[in-house]
Structure formats: C-alpha cells, structure tokens
C-alpha cells in the first residue's frame, strides 16, 4: 500500500488521530476501539511487508553413465547403466537404447529396466551377427530423457553349415515309427507296420548311423540303420547306443537269452557279452577312446540295481547294492572317465549323479525324482 500520509498531511493526520482518541476516551464505545485498531493497522501497511514466496526449483535431467558392453554373441549382448542423480524428480523409466547408427535414442530399439537411481543391467537382444552397434543408457524423469555416454560393439559372426541330428520315434496313431531328424526334417526308418524306436545317432563324415529296435511281431530286434538301410543284430534284443571310429561301428545294448537280460556290445555286428548271464544286466551307452571300449550300464543284484562301467569288458561297480542305481551314459576325455546316471537312496526318489573316475557327485538332493542321461 502506498503511504499517502507524508509532507503537509502528517500534522492533519496526527490531529485526526487525537480527535478520535479523545472521542474513544469519552464514549468508550467498542465500535470506536475497533475503528482505531483498523486505522492503525492500515496506516502501517507498506510495500514489502508481505514478500512473495520464492519461485520453485524446476527439475533437471538425470545424470547417468553407460555400462561397458559384455557377453557379446552373434545375436545378444549385455550392458546397462548407472544413474547417479535423478535431477530432482523421480526417474520413471530407464534402460539402454541401441542402433547401427550413432547417437541412438528411445525411438530406436531399447530395453525397459525399471525405475529409480543406481546401477541397472540390460539384455540387448535381436541383434544381427557381424554388425556394429551403438548403445547408450537412458533415464527419464518429468524434465525429459537423458542419455549416458555412447559405446560401440560388434557382434560375432555365427558359424554356419552345422547340421543337427536327432534320433527318436513318432507315434503314427497305431504304431511307433523310428525316425531321424536332420535340421528338423524327419526321415522315417521304419514303415509303421510294427513298433520301432531309434535310440541313438552318430554321424561320421557323410554317413549317418542310427541304432534302435523294431518289433517283428513277437519280439524286438536290435538294428543299425546306416543312411537309412537297416541291418539286424540279433533277435530279442535292444540297441541303445552307437559310436563310430573310422570304419568300426560299436553298438551297446541288451539281449534276452530266454531267462536273463545280458549286457552286450557289438563291433561291426560281432557280439560280445559283458556279463556271465547270472544276473540281469543292461548296457546303456558306449564310447571308444583309442583302442579302449567303454560301456556304461547296470546289473540287477536281485534286490537292487548296481551302476557299472566296463572298460574292454572288465567291469567296475560305481555303487554297492544297498540302493538302486543305474548308469545311462559314458564319455571319456584323456584319462578321465565320466558316467551319468542316478541313484535311488530311498524307496522311490531318484537322485541324478555323475561319476568321474568312479567318484560320485550328486546333481540333485534327492527330494524330487531326477536322472542324468
């Protein structure tokens, strides 16, 4: 309020106040007292007695850095960022953005990795092999989107020309048909007139070997298919695994002799028994290292099965017969022999195991059924 009471008006104003005061003292009216207070208050108002509040501080863009790019493959990579300041407003979106052109933005490919400040990681997917990419971390608050420093990386070149083979069977609606798949394309090994299984595949040069069995109407017949052409091994038997070394074809399996199952290995169709026929025994897997032939399987002791591995026909027990156990697969690297399988420490629950040179390591704790194959 502008002070109008200055100069020659001051003396008149003072006289006016005195007259009012005298009147109040005479009449002592409540209304007059209020009038006096109002005059005093308003007469004391000056510009600046009630200053305006300070202007609010507006948020700024976040401050952040881009994390180094790691784990680069032909189609994926890992990166991320570190947001050290939110700019005075909550970071509502963060991640990384990338492009094959410099200075990528959120209009390009991006990840969404939560909110807030601090360190975050990002998985960069959908990349092209052998391409160079630029990546920046980003963070968004109410002031806008800020970007970290730009990094570049080049994806690896994918190896091409590798073929993937899988052996198995497909149910036709009435029978199981043995099949082999090459890069997802199936080839039937049997015509579906009898049940058949394909259990193992091995590729040597241009030759594809598959082993399994086909039922002849009364019993299973172990077979080897070379490039789709079948050779029968014996009647009443199953072929479980195949390994090819040079021109030699090794097959592990089991044959029923009328009273017992006998673990066997065939080399170029010539069979060798691994057991003495006194107990049921099974051969599950074969691996050849140099001149040594390894076979994994198990033997039934009457009460429990015992996991075993044979080297050139000489057997080594991997477990005792206190619990059921079996060996499903064998692999040799140098002088180390690895066997995968399972042991059943209770009545029903299988614990997956791997043995290295006869020493077992549990892969599961036995609380749930598990098996290593």
Q: Report, as an integer, the average pLDDT of 168-173.
A: 94
Q: Which 3 state secondary structure label does DSSP give 10?
A: helix
Which of 228, 224, 231, 273 lies closest to 250, judged by CA?
Answer: 224
Q: Between β-strands 336-344 and 351-356, what pairing exists: parallel, antiparallel or unpaired?
A: antiparallel
* C-alpha 39: how far from chain center: 81
Q: Residues 88-144: pLDDT tens digits?
A: 999 999 999 999 999 999 999 999 999 999 999 999 998 988 899 999 999 999 999
With cut-offs at 50, 70 and 90, classify the pLDDT of residue 192. Answer: very high
Report the share of the chain in percent with pLDDT over 90. 65
Q: Report, as an integer, the average pLDDT of 146-168.
A: 89
CA distance 198 to 201: 8
Report the share of the chain in percent with pLDDT over 70. 85
Q: Which 3 state secondary structure label does DSSP give 148?
A: coil
Decide: 151 and 79 in contact? Cβ < 8 Å: yes
Decide: 216 and 230 in contact? Cβ < 8 Å: no
Q: Report, as an integer, the average pLDDT of 233-256.
A: 93
Distances 141 to 58, 79, 90, 109, 135 between C-alpha atoms, Å: 12, 21, 6, 19, 20
CA distance 23 to 369: 106
DSSP letter at 368 equals: S
With cut-offs at 50, 70 and 90, classify the pLDDT of residue 14. Answer: low
Residue 258, C-beta contacts closer than 8 angstroms, at least 6 positions apart: none
What does the pLDDT read at residue 99? Answer: 97
Decide: 198 and 167 in contact? Cβ < 8 Å: yes
What does the pLDDT read at residue 367? Answer: 79
What does the pLDDT read at residue 1? Answer: 39
What does the pLDDT read at residue 279? Answer: 81
What does the pLDDT read at residue 36? Answer: 46
Task: Please report the DSSP string for 108-123 in residue order.
Answer: SEE----SSSEEEEEE
What does the pLDDT read at residue 40? Answer: 47
Domains along the chain with CATH numbers: 9-43 (no CATH), 63-154 (2.60.40.10), 165-362 (2.120.10.80)
Greater pLDDT, 172 or 7: 172
What does the pLDDT read at residue 7? Answer: 47
Q: Residues 276-314: pLDDT tens digits?
A: 767 889 999 999 999 999 999 998 877 788 999 999 999
What does the pLDDT read at residue 5? Answer: 43
The H-assigned helical ranges of the chain are: 9-27, 30-43
CA distance 133 to 151: 8
Give yes or no for residue 317 having a pLDDT over 60: yes
Task: Please report the DSSP string for 21-54 in residue order.
Answer: HHHHHHH--HHHHHHHHHHHHHHT--TTSSPPPP
The shares of helix, strand and coil residues in the chain, as percent rounded to the nearest 5, are: 10, 50, 40
Greater pLDDT, 45 or 305: 305
Q: Report, as an integer, the average pLDDT of 149-172.
A: 89
- Average pLDDT of the chain, as a whole number: 87
With cut-offs at 50, 70 and 90, classify the pLDDT of residue 57. Answer: confident
What does the pLDDT read at residue 117? Answer: 97
């Amino acid at each position: 309020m502008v002070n109008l009471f200055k100069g020659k008006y001051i003396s008149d104003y003072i006289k006016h106040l005195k007259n009012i005061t005298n009147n109040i003292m005479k009449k002592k009216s409540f209304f007059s007292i209020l009038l006096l207070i109002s005059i005093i208050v308003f007469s004391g108002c000056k510009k600046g007695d009630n200053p305006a509040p300070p202007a609010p501080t507006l948020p700024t863009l976040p401050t952040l850095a881009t994390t180094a790019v790691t784990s680069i493959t032909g189609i994926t990579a890992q990166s991320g960022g570190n947001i050290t300041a939110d700019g005075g407003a909550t970071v509502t979106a963060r991640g990384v953005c990338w492009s094959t052109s410099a200075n990528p933005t959120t209009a390009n490919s991006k990840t969404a990795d939560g909110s807030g400040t601090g360190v975050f990681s990002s998985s960069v997917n959908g990349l092209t092999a052998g391409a160079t990419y630029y990546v920046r971390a980003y963070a968004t608050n109410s002031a806008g989107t800020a970007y970290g420093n730009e990094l570049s990386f080049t994806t690896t070149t994918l190896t091409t020309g590798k073929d993937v083979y899988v052996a198995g069977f497909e149910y036709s609606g009435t029978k199981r048909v043995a099949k082999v798949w090459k890069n997802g394309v199936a080839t039937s090994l049997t015509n579906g007139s009898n049940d058949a299984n394909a259990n193992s595949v091995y590729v040597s040069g241009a030759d594809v070997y598959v082993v399994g069995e086909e039922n002849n109407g009364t019993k299973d017949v172990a077979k080897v298919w070379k490039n789709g052409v079948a050779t029968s091994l014996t009647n009443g038997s199953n072929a479980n695994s195949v390994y090819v070394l040079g021109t030699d074809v090794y097959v592990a399996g089991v044959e029923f002799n009328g009273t017992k199952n006998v673990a066997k290995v065939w080399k170029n169709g010539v069979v060798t028994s691994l057991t003495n026929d006194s107990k049921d025994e099974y051969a599950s897997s074969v691996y050849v290292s140099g001149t040594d032939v390894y076979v994994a399987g198990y033997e039934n002791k009457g009460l429990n099965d015992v996991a075993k591995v044979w080297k050139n026909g000489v057997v080594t027990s991997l477990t005792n017969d206190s619990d059921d156990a079996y060996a499903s697969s064998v692999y040799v690297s140098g002088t180390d022999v690895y066997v995968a399988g399972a042991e059943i420490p209770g009545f029903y629950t299988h614990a997956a195991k791997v043995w290295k040179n006869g020493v077992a390591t549990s892969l599961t704790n036995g609380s749930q059924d598990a098996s290593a194959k």
